Amino acid sequence: MTITQESGGQGAITEYNRRMNNFNRYETISKILYWLVKNQYEHPSLKQLSDQFGISKFHLQKTFQDFAGVSPKQFLKHLSKKEAIVRLRRGQTVLDTAIGLGLSGPGRLHDLLVTTAAVTPGQLRKPGQMIQLEYGYGNSPFGDALIAWTNRGVSFLGFCNQQGRAQTLSGLKEQWPSVRLSNNPDGASEYLSKIFENPAAEPVNVWLRGSPFQLKVWEALLQIPASTHCTYGQIAKHLGKPQASRSVGTAIGRNPISWLIPCHRVITSMGTLGGYRWGIETKQVMIGVESSRCAGNLKTQFAV
């Protein structure tokens, strides 16, 4: 019994240390990523990065490359419009096949493990059975994140870096009106760890609320290959409604589970980013990370 208690105590300490290490790593990485996006046109050197964050060049380079699969200098190349056009052209040649087959290679492993279920109208109307969402904030590679879930799965994932917590929480409440919210920071930390530390370990169930058209759009987003772009028009065409690009854009803007449902892979036909619910810089950070990793062809615990 004594050994069991000591083992359990040590295990708790190890788990705490692991979470703190990830928290600190994510905090550092997200600051570097957003700083690079904001200063991309200045082409900052590794020394400038080192001076900016007070981290040795060696440690900064290693930490960044372990996460992104490339050096900070190489990461900057993936932010350019030229690279966006390349990814868009690649999407034009492979998207129809990928959607038709329902898969797009190992790069989309975490997408393929996302399973969706929709809230039915009856579940929203049952008297005395108000839906309860647990929610909480936590750190992620893309900054402060807000996640909400039920026992059916994740129902919301948003990022606070550019909007702040209050506005992100307002987005959750707008998407899920008339529900009971229960704050659960420990549960949020566990969910975010599952999503960002080892997404291929087991399926991530999601429970969505949306119109039939919105659900079709969100499911279509899961078919877009990693490090590939498609346009709003391509999504509309795939859904058999080629004139509905604007409606597709509106549905994409209402995507309740960012990153897991990869709306960041949709850009305009001119190669510009278009809009993004959680800020253009966040969208560019996501695109840069995903593109860098695919280019580096590395398998990391944050594989995408």
Look at 102-111, 135-144, 187-196 and tell me which has the smallest mean pLDDT.
102-111
Q: How confident is the model at residue 134 (pLDDT cuts 50, 70, 90)?
A: very high
* CATH number for the domain harbouring residue 242: 1.10.10.10
Residue 289 lies in a domain: yes
Q: Which amino acid is at 224?
A: I
- 223: exposed, middle or buried (Cβ count in 10 Å: 0-12, 13-18, 19+): buried
Among 52, 77, 102, the domain-final residue is 77
Looking at the structure, tell me whether residues 143 and 54 fall in a common domain.
no
Determine the Cα angle at 276 with ends 259 and 302, to 5°.
20
Tell which wins on pLDDT, 97 or 79: 79
Domain that holds residue 38: 2-77
Based on the fold, state whether residues 260 and 136 are members of the same structural domain: yes
Same domain, yes or no: 156 and 187: yes
Indicate whether 44 and 180 sit together in one domain: no
Q: Is residue 41 domain-resident? A: yes
- Would you say residue 71 has pLDDT above 60? yes
Q: 304 in a domain, yes or no?
A: no
**Are 171 and 195 members of one domain?**
yes
Same domain, 73 and 104: no
48 in the same domain as 113: no
- pLDDT, mean over the chain: 79
Are 30 and 128 in a shared domain? no
* Residue 35: predicted pLDDT: 95
> Are 46 and 154 members of one domain?
no
> Angle between the 57-68 and 280-296 helix axes, to the nearest 10 degrees?
80
Instruction: Let me know whether 258 and 112 are in one domain.
Output: yes
In tens, the pLDDT along 139-172 reads 999 999 999 999 888 999 999 998 899 999 999 9
Residues 156 and 257: their CA atoms lie apart, in Å, by: 5
- Tell me the pLDDT band of 90, cut-offs 50, 70 and 90: confident
Helices (H), 205-244: 212-221, 232-238
Q: What is the pLDDT of residues 24-44, one digit of tens each?
A: 778 889 999 999 999 999 999
Measured CA to CA, the distance from residue 33 to residue 102 in angstroms comes to 32
Q: Is 100's pLDDT higher than 70? A: no
34 with 89, same domain?
Answer: no
Final residue before a domain boundary, out of 28, 46, 77:
77
Comparing 1 with 129, the larger pLDDT belongs to: 129
208 occurs within a structural domain: yes
Burial (CB < 10 A; 0-12, 13-18, 19+), residue 101, is exposed
Q: Report the alpha-carbon distance of residue 220 to residue 99 in Å, rounded.
A: 8
Residue 255 lies in a domain: yes
Say how many domains are in the chain.
2
Q: Is residue 302 part of a domain?
A: no
Asked whether residue 278 is domain-assigned, the answer is yes
Using DSSP, state whether 79 is helix, strand or coil: coil
Residues that are catalytic: 263
Q: Are residues 109 and 11 in the same domain?
A: no
Q: Which of 39, 55, 77 is the last residue of a domain?
A: 77
What is the rounded distance in angstroms from the CA atom of residue 149 to the CA atom of residue 138? 14
Say whether 133 sits in a helix, a strand or coil: strand
